[in-house]
Structure 1
Amino acid sequence: MRMLNFEGAAMVGMALAVTALPVIVGAQERDGEPTREQARQPAPPGQLQTVTVSAERRAENVRNVPVSATIIGEETLNALNSGGQDMQMLAGRAPSLQVESSFGRGFPRFYLRGYGNVDFHQNASQPVSLIYDDVVQESPVLKGFPAFDLERIEVLRGPQGSLFGRNTPAGVVKFDSVRPSQTPGGYLTLSGATHNTSSVEGALNLPLGGDWAARVSVLGQHRDDWIGNSRQGTSDQYGGYNDSAVRAQLLYKPSGGFEALANLHQRIMNGSASLFRANIIQKGTDALVPGFDIGSVATDGGNGQNLKNYGGSLRLKWRLDGVTLHSVTGYETVRVFSRGDIDGGYGAVYAPPSGPGLIPFVVESADGTKGHRQFTQELRLEFDAAQALRWQAGLFYFDERYQIDSYSYDTLGGGALTSDIRSHQKNDAYAVFGSANYDVTPRVNLRAGVRYTRDNKDLVTEPDNLPRGGSDIDASTGLAAGTGVSKVNWDMSGVYKLTDAANLYARVATGFRGATIQPAATFNPMSVARPETIVSYEVGFKTDLMQRRARLSFDIYSYTVKDLQLTAVGGTSNSAILLNADRSAGRGAELDLDAYLGENLLWSFGGSYNHTKIKDAGLTVGACAACTVLNPTVVKGGSTLVLIDGNPLPQAPRWSANTSLKYTYPVANGEFYAYTDWVYRSAVNFTLYRSAEFTGKPLLTGGLRLGYKWDNDRNEVALFGRNITNRVQLVGGIDFNNLTGFVNDSNPRIFGAQFSRRF
């Protein structure tokens, strides 16, 4: 009933927003396209700041861009980073955005509009692309680079294939760091919280004289181990981490229209991997077993994760006669290793004692990436004259190579290494793209883009990697595969200005995700998934209201994905196989609203409805070993398989919402404030089939922050809490062995204090 009430309230809220669209009051003078520097200037009290977005690779007022976009700003990031969370902290912070992981801090998986990828392999591709400082982060273990000293995070929903390329059919999450400037200054933020969670974040901006400036940004996060192991008699063995990152930028900006920005960055992380817990789900339900203790596990295997990431970029810009030439060169390398006790318990039925519950057999494994390098180069020519027709065109090149290791261990034999299945992947791609933007009339703007991409991928698995020699995979099933794909993507959109403060837009866009090759493994042969393609339709409305005291955007969309890539994980065979579904479909609506309810009271709300469905009448996947399957089953070759036609996509909530409220109380030399933020998502399936057990209940989490700022906001002290209701919930499962799952122990309830100083 609570879920129904919340969904009813969400529907009413979105309906009220839509019915309010015709009632647009207070037409304003037309806003130009502000620069980012102009957009950063404080707005008058009680008014919203102008928001720019670079969805089309240039800064534009978000109201004028025909893309469903949300900006995650400084206020939200400050609150989230105070808790020392990883990239999963962004889950639900924008309509239709979900982030989850079964790999700990090192491997976040992003979803937009219910469309993502649950594949845990380190060469998995995702349909949501992450762009950090104009450089694509293709490897999933690059996507976890921390969010600090950022100007903004842009969430761009829907296919972005024309300007951002392949592997963006669901959308793009774009991170933009604060750039160096000629203004000296910086900041330092210190926080401490429960479980000895601590964070140090800071930046120093350094004018170097003449045309040079530099900026150095640092982040350090720590949490003590706080989860014990009852089997090994320890009280604090897991849950801790040390995660540090640094970014150094050097800007050269002489007069004459040339600009160069160099970026070097590094991340080093070590700590616990995800903790799998055997038989924590009540049979026939999605509830945790009675007496479940988030602070304790009972396992006999190893656990740990470490990651090192180094990278750099060089962004050059030449302003020529009426055009600007952009060059973006990027290089990334990452090495990661993660080990876990996959069976989630100790012993086995054939090696007592064992538990908790039934442990049919022992599984302890690890994954690693090394020898990784990614090189990217983009050249883009932009026509920047203030005329009715504007265009841009460019070339893009991508080259990535790395080694993937899949390890197995003998838990009962002291954790000895028993298998190292080693694969090598190389992926290169190039593209030619262009787009045009034309003001047909002062009120009508049309845009179109097109991109041609060639994507080549090869993967080879070595046949002899066991310490004792030989191999435990069957070479006859094929240990090498290659793909070559050529695709053309396009999009068309139009904007109609209802008033100087309100726009309608419509957009049709296509996109694709390149073919994927999954390495051969102990329990399954090598598999290949064909590329998937999407066609998306979207209409929306954006407006400023009440003399910029409120801002609203609303859209509805529908998309169809052909040859959707799926990963059938688990089942009684303990396999992971790539599949292509004939089609999948999604439809929904999204709402963003920011409003000053009073001069000192700011409310933000985002909501989305996402309905997804797999459409393939004959597609089957393996059944779980111990769960209650809710889909029809068939028997093929002596195995029971599950028909998944009509199921929603995994990790795709139908409803999601986020809201925040900030109240400020001015005093003589500063202000007191109270800030609270909440995120809700409805139930999700963890697997491709539907079952009673491997389902995530609706989830509501919230935070609270009470603080005081003084000396023109240069100083701030705050008390904060994250996950203040102490919600403990199943967030994923492993279905091949028993009723093993994992919970939200990466986001426990914490309380702490923070101090910030700007100088």
Structure 2
Amino acid sequence: MGTGSLRTTGALRLLLIAGASVAAIQSAAAQEAATESAIAVPVATGDEKAGVGDIIVTARRRSENLQKSSLAIDVVSGNDLARAGITNATDLNRVAPTVLIGQTGSFTQVYVRGVGTSSANQFGDPSVTFNEDGVVIDRPNMIGPVFYDIARVEVLKGPQGTLYGRNATGGAVNVITVAPTQTFGGFASGQYGNYNNYILTGALNVPFSDTLAVRASGQFQGHESFLSGGYPVGSHYRATRSKAGRLQMMWRPTSDISLRLIGEASHEGGPADNFVLTNPNEPNSDPWLGAFNPEANAIITAAAPLQILLRSDDSNIDKDLWNVGAELNWNLGFATLTVQPAYRDLTLHATSYGGGLKLVYDEKSKQTSVETRLAHDGASLKWLVGAFYFNNDRTVRNFIDSNPVSQRALQVFPEIGSESYAFFADSTVSLDPSLRLLGGIRYTHERKIVQGVRTDLDNTPTNNFVLNDYATYNEVTWRGGMEFDVAPQSMAYATVSTGFKSGGFYTAISPGNDYKPEHLTAYTLGIRNRFLDNKLQINLEGFYWKYKDNQQSAIGFDGQGNIAFVTYNAGNATLYGLSADIVARVSTADTLTLNAEYNHSRYDSFSYVVPFIFNPASTGCSVGPIFAPPAGGLNRRIVDCSGFPLPRAPKFVARGGYAHVFRLDDGSTVTANAVGNYQSSKYLSIDYVPAALAKRTFTADFDLDFVSSNKRFSVGAFVHNLTNEAVYTSGGEHQQIANVYYASINPPRTYGVRGQFSF
């Protein structure tokens, strides 16, 4: 089935779905209210009666108070994002403790409680979906610098099998931007710090009439590399730059109809890697010593004198993204109709190094989606039905150099396609004023196609082959549960939900180069409480997850016995734990917060087959004896990692904060805010070697901000990672040398000043 067939079929489905009477969300007015009031727990305001602030979320496609919802969710306000200097997805690690985001080359890897995707190639689907203003972002390299002029970020934990069903096995990250309003205003802000770190952000909101408003916003950001080690002047490691802009229009011809149009574009340039070596560095060496500088190369040479080191100061990324979308909301009286079409375009060139490989990667990707919903939001019955269509077509060209074993290959894929459509329904029924039953179901059909050629540049005939693969997947996912109001300010809930991520292909000879879908079932039990006249909030939640046919990638065999980078349905796992979210308004000037989670994760079964040349020292798992396969081919071993925790799943994480407001006589304020983040040790990858075990860390951030009495002017200073901790987010073992481990690392201590003028 070729690209033309996919696109023709997709276009027909898109028109059918867009014209169907299935779609929904809250009314446009409620949606705007949710955006404007989406402020996380406020710092003390001076109001003697001020308590813990409500958080309004739209994760269930309607506006609701988080304290009255059974969602497993963390919410970060736009104010908190700006104060923390968040400019890209990996920065979320500092403000959302249960999400761990790493970067390998141009690929963003999002993990929630250890569920995620480590694949850094053209075939990998994320297990945690990323959404911007309700539009799913399919490719892990299509997440751009969108974190400016943001209302909030919602991190949904667990499978989203009903409303965010496409491949959302582990959860979803929803980014909600600030929508145009009927109030003239805007802001301009700037930040500057060490490593020549600058952020310039601005927004302008203009109501052109009683029915039409336009909002324009943008950001310029850049910094010098925080890696050390004597990179050549002028190399791409010297600086990272990005620029992004967003233009929106909100039109309300009547009180029942609204149309929001969004256009966005961005460019990113700079190094594609931020790798360091975790081993065999000396114990007191610089943790931010770049993996490809002369000193690190000397370490590798000492470990393996025959290793041919690849040139690495040419690592770079050049990425252009643009997207357009619309959201129509129409109040039909009995329900609200929502139609949301979107298009996203990526052009990418990257040269990156990891695990001893050089990868030159070019991709052109086009994504089309449309979701239609019809929703009723009554006092005793809330229901929603909808349909979803998605299509992604991409062309990819890879050059892979894995010297010194003389494995150079060119991979050209003129077509890699994913097409999906789904129908879903969700409801909440109130049996009495204090008891509600929840239920939802989704049917998903997905198809994947791969057409391409792999050419071995070292003339190894068995490594030359053509790919022409096609597969379809059908799945029904569901959720159910109940909510019970124990008291006016206390709500208990119990839910169960399912999710799946479709299967796919990897680069190897067909047949035998495919893998099955993975599945996750999550059980959740929790209670949300407010005490002491709304001054104390204590939310507790327990979870139990069963993870089946977990997809993992490692060096192995294809169906013809050739060595390949294989994606397996490697194993099943069990996760369980407890999370707590506590907010205390100690006084009108003081606020304490604590967000903590315990997560016990273990592989019940996890094994895969590797070539006999596999070095047992490159894994911490049990390696079986060499054996010959019955059908012939290369000898092999079995690696068994059963009993290990899931990678990137720390057993304990906690984020605690204290904020104090000093009120000055003229009405202006000075706010001091201190936040600490603790994370226990975690494995970064399924290598499970000692170097892959990242030690426990504690980082501290401190901010001091002055806000004028009229709220129009503010100035502040900040220190992030005050403890100068080395926080690793992803990694992998060298492909040819045991005990040489590459890892991505967060920035060291950073500090600076910022200011903002609002009008």
* Structure 1 residues 69 and 275: alpha-carbon distance in aligned structure 2, compared to 1, 3 A threshold: closer
Q: 1:630 to 1:746 in 2, by over 3 A?
A: closer
Change in Cα spacing, 1:397 to 1:221, as seen in structure 2 (3 Å) is: same
Whether 1:392 and 2:391 are equivalent positions in the alignment is no
Report if aligned partners of 2:156, 2:173 keep a CA contact under 8 Å in 1: yes
Residue 550 (str. 1) matches residue 548 (str. 2): no
Partner of 1:349: none
Equivalent residues in 2 for 1:518-537, closer than 5 Å: 518-520=506-508, 527-537=513-523
Are residue 183 (structure 1) and residue 183 (structure 2) matched? yes
Partner of 2:582: 593
Structure 1 residue 294 corresponds to structure 2 residue 288:
yes
Q: State the partner residue of 1:671.
A: 669
Alignment of 1:607 onto 2:619: no
Q: Which residue of 2 aligns with 1:353?
A: none
Shift of 1:529: 1.6
Structure 1 position 582, deviation (Å): 4.3
Cα drift, residue 694 of structure 1: 1.9
Provide the secondary structure at the position in 1 that maps to 2:624: strand
The 1:618–1:373 alpha-carbon spacing in structure 2 relative to 1, beyond 3 Å, is: closer
Tell me if 1:752 matches 2:738: no
Q: Distance in 2 between matches of 1:525 and 1:699?
A: 45
Which one of 540, 545, 565 corresponds to residue 559 of structure 1?
A: 545
Deviation string, structure 1 residues 631-677 (Cα, Å, up to 9, x no partner): 32102344444211122111111111112221110102311121122
**Inter-CA distance 617–182: structure 2 relative to 1 (3 Å threshold):** closer
TM-score (norm 1): 0.85
Q: RMSD of aligned C-alpha atoms?
A: 3.0
Is the 8 Å Cα contact of residues 102 and 744 (structure 2) preserved in structure 1? no
Which moved further from structure 2: 501-510 or 52-61? Answer: 52-61
Q: Pick from 648, 653, 656: which aligns with 2:650? A: 653
AA matched with 2:338: H
Please point out which of 379, 394, 409 is paired with 1:402: 394
Deviation of 1:507 (Å): 0.2
Q: Would the alpha carbon gap of residues 97 and 277 (structure 1) be closer, same or farther in structure 2, given more than 3 Å must change?
A: closer
In structure 1, the residue matched to 2:363 is 369
Q: How does 1:274-673 map to 2 (within 5 A)?
A: 274-277=273-276, 280-282=278-280, 289-292=283-286, 294=288, 297-298=293-294, 300-301=311-312, 302-342=314-354, 363-370=357-364, 372-384=365-377, 386-408=378-400, 419-422=410-413, 424-463=415-454, 474-475=463-464, 479-520=467-508, 527-568=513-554, 575-616=564-605, 619-620=608-609, 625=615, 627=617, 629-635=619-625, 636-637=627-628, 638-669=635-666, 670-673=668-671
Higher mean displacement: 633-642 or 211-220: 633-642
* Matches of 1:343 and 1:130, distance apart in 2: 26
- Say whether the 8 Å CA contact 1:118–1:650 is kept in structure 2: no
User: Which deviations, in whole Å up to 9, do the C-alpha atoms of 1:215-238 show, x marking residues without a partner?
Assistant: 1111110113464654x7549761
Q: Which consecutive unaligned segments of at least 5 residues does structure 1 have? A: 1-31, 345-362
* Equivalent residues, number: 690
Q: Which moved more, 1:296-305 or 1:705-714?
A: 296-305
In structure 2, the partner of 1:28 is none
Please give the secondary structure, in 2, of the residue aligned with 1:164: coil
Q: Secondary structure at the match of 2:204?
A: strand
**What secondary structure, in the 3-state scheme, does the structure 2 residue paired with 1:108 have?**
strand
Q: Does 132-141 or 142-151 show the bigger shift?
A: 142-151
Cα deviation for residue 409 of structure 1 reads 5.1
CA-to-aligned-CA distance 1:361-410 (integer Å, 9 cap, x gap): xx42222211x1111011101113x3412211011111110012221359
Question: Which whole-Å deviations, capped at 9, do the CAs of 1:520-569 have from their partners, x for residues lacking one?
Answer: 49xx9983220112221111011122222222221111111222111125
Partners of 2:456 and 2:201 in 1: CA distance: 43
Structure 1 pair 130–729 and aligned structure 2 pair: CA distance change class (3 A): closer
Residues 525, 519 of structure 1: CA spacing in aligned structure 2 closer, same or farther, 3 A cutoff?
A: farther
Tell me the equivalent position of 2:709. 711
- Partners of 1:114 and 1:699 in 2: CA distance: 17
Shift of 1:293: 6.2
Letter of the structure 1 residue corresponding to residue 59 of structure 2: A
Per the alignment, residue 258 of structure 1 pairs with: 257
Structure-2 residue corresponding to 1:354: none
Q: Does 1:70 align with 2:74?
A: yes
Shift of the 742–705 alpha-carbon distance from structure 1 to 2, 3 Å rule, reads farther
**Counterpart AA for 1:216:** A
Q: Say whether the 8 Å CA contact 1:620–1:644 is kept in structure 2.
A: no
What is the match of residue 142 of structure 1?
Answer: 142
Contact 2:586 2:592 (C-alpha < 8 Å) held by counterparts:
yes
Q: So what's the TM-score if we normalise by structure 2?
A: 0.85
Deviates further, 610-619 or 307-316: 610-619
Question: Alignment partner of 2:84: what SS?
Answer: helix
Measured at CA, do residues 624 and 187 of structure 1 come closer, stay the same or move farther in structure 2, by a change above 3 Å?
Answer: farther
Partners of 1:607 and 1:745 lie apart in 2 by: 23
Matched, 1:87 2:89: yes
Residue 409 of structure 2 contacts residue 454 of structure 2 at CA under 8 Å; is this kept in 1?
Answer: no
Please tell me the residue identity of whatever aligns with 1:303: S
**Separation (CA, whole Å) in 2 of partners of 1:406 and 1:273:** 15
Identity %: 21
Distance in 1, matches of 2:155 and 2:274, equals 30
Contact 2:590 2:660 (C-alpha < 8 Å) held by counterparts: yes
Deviation at 1:686, TM superposition (A): 2.4
Distance in 2 (alpha carbons) for counterparts of 1:578 and 1:136: 24
